[in-house]
Amino acid sequence: MGIIKEFKEFTMRGNVLDLAVGVIIGGAFGTIVNSLVGDILMPLIGIILGGHDFTKMSLHVGDVELMYGKALQSTFNFIIIAFVLFLILKAANKGRLSSGKDA
């Protein structure tokens, strides 16, 4: 069997297509969360903490600038995404259990 035909069969399997859709939706969801954190939550937290812009927070060590504010913002992004995924999986498992199927 030719390599092209094998590749086509591989990519047309249900799992691969489901994964591709998941990656695309995940990327879009990540963009929304980045905007939510960067444009709404972090400015509000900055106002509460005295008007700090977290993305500009940095530490100079010699000639190097460590942008720890951006790392902090990325950490908030991760926490929000992880929490939403937790809620989605919890709801899916609850639905699965209530329908009589094993989790």
Q: Where are the domains of the chain?
A: 3-98
For 38, list phi and psi in degrees, rounded to 5. -70, -35
pLDDT score, position 46: 80
Rounded percentage of the chain residues whose pLDDT exceeds 70: 93
- Whether residue 44 has pLDDT greater than 90: no
Angle, CA 99 vertex, CA 93 and CA 101 arms, to 5°: 70
Q: Which residues, 6+ apart, have CB-to-CB distance to 39 below 8 Å?
A: none
Q: Put residue 62 in one of left, alpha, beta given phi > 0 → left and psi -120 to 50 → alpha.
A: left
For residues 45-57, average pLDDT: 80
- Whether residue 103 has pLDDT greater than 50: no
Mean pLDDT computed over every residue of the chain: 82
For residues 41-56, average pLDDT: 80
CATH superfamily of 3-98: Large-conductance mechanosensitive channel, MscL; domain 1 (1.10.1200.120)
CA dihedral (79, 82, 88, 90) positive or negative = negative
Six-digit token pair at 27? Answer: 């990327």
Q: Which residues, 6+ apart, have CB-to-CB distance to 23 below 8 Å?
A: none
For residues 39-52, average pLDDT: 82
pLDDT band at 26 (very low <50, low <70, confident <90, very high): confident
- Whether residue 62 has pLDDT greater than 60: yes
Whether the model clears a pTM of 0.75, i.e. scores above it, the answer is: no
